[in-house]
Amino acid sequence: MQKPLDGILVVALEQAVAAPLATSRLADAGARVIKLERHEGDFARGYDDYANGYSSYFVWLNRGKESCRVDLRDPEDLAMVRKMLAQADVFVQNLGPGATDRLGIGAEALRKDFPRLITCDICGFAPDTPDANRKAYDLMIQAEAGLSEITGSEASGPSRIGISICDITTGMTAHAHILEALYAREKTGQGAAISVSLFDVAVEAMSVPYIAARNGGPIAKRVGLQHPSIAPYGAYEAQDGRLLIAVQSDREWVNFADKVLGRPELGADPRPRGRRGARRQARHRLEKPHHLVGAQHD
């Protein structure tokens, strides 16, 4: 059966999680993905050995790819990679800051040589920021973006989200941008230079607590399994253990009170609506253009 990206060639100079996740999704959609690895291999091969002796991360993120071992300090290997790129549709890389530029295969040089090529650089911090030359890892980004500050409970203190959430969401973001660029190329015939940073993706995920705090709402706190602005939404103690409840809207609350609790009068109680009404007013204020501009530029 034909897949959406059949005929697309992706060259990936990648390691760890973010870039391999993006290219694994392209491979799933039918693209031919050639993964370039240093002689010792992608270091994610050594994260664990839980998948029948292989790394669970590596098996998850590199299925369906071809692997090519290269030494980019060797002129012959570098020339071979350039021949690959001359035929490629997409080049994805997440080496350290400036590494591909020093090798002569940075986005700017490649876009001049191969105008139809789509390049995607995945980095820790955006190129035009003071931190552009810093390396970045998932845990560090969770802390710097504020994710760890609102994760966990007050008793536990700041906590790491239990998966490599910044790496994973950055890979998903890169995948989406690459698909957009492939679609745009169908109309223009031109490739694109894409740059995606872990920090920017993590900050995007923090938009709700940031906007709330900048517009008079509470500073986000660690609330464990509860929700900072919706109730009942979380874990509650019952006679025979803890019960997880997620009620998203007034209508769901009415149904929950009637059909689950057997207390239909609770659904008609006006007291819970007070805070929801205040939140509706806050949302109305945010819809005004001058408030949005202030939130973006303060």
- Name 117's Cβ contacts closer than 8 Å, sequence gap at least 6: 85, 88, 89, 90, 91, 110, 111, 191
Phi and psi angles of residue 165, each rounded to the nearest 5 degrees, phi first: -65, -35
| Residue indicated by tokens 């949302």 | 283
Give me the active site residues, please: 227
- pLDDT for 197 equals 95
For helices 289-297 and 207-214, angle between their N-to-C axes, nearest 10 degrees = 110
- pLDDT for 298 equals 37
- pLDDT for 91 equals 98
- pLDDT for 169 equals 96
Please report the DSSP string for 116-177 in residue order: TPEEEEEESS-TTSTTTT----HHHHHHHTTTGGGSS-TTT-S---SS-HHHHHHHHHHHHH
The domains of the chain are located at: 9-205, 207-297
- pLDDT for 110 equals 96
- pLDDT for 40 equals 87
DSSP state of 259: I
| Residue indicated by tokens 């995945």 | 122
- pLDDT for 224 equals 64
Over the chain (298 residues), the average pLDDT of each successive run of 10 is 95 95 97 94 86 90 94 94 96 93 94 96 92 88 86 79 91 98 96 96 89 77 69 80 82 84 82 49 40 38
- pLDDT for 273 equals 59
The yes-or-no answer to whether 9-205 and 207-297 have a common fold is no
- pLDDT for 46 equals 86
CA distance 76 to 285: 61
- pLDDT for 297 equals 37
Whether CATH 3.40.50.10540 fits 9-205: yes
Q: Which CATH architecture has domain 207-297?
A: 2-Layer Sandwich (3.30)
- pLDDT for 229 equals 66
| Residue indicated by tokens 């940075």 | 106
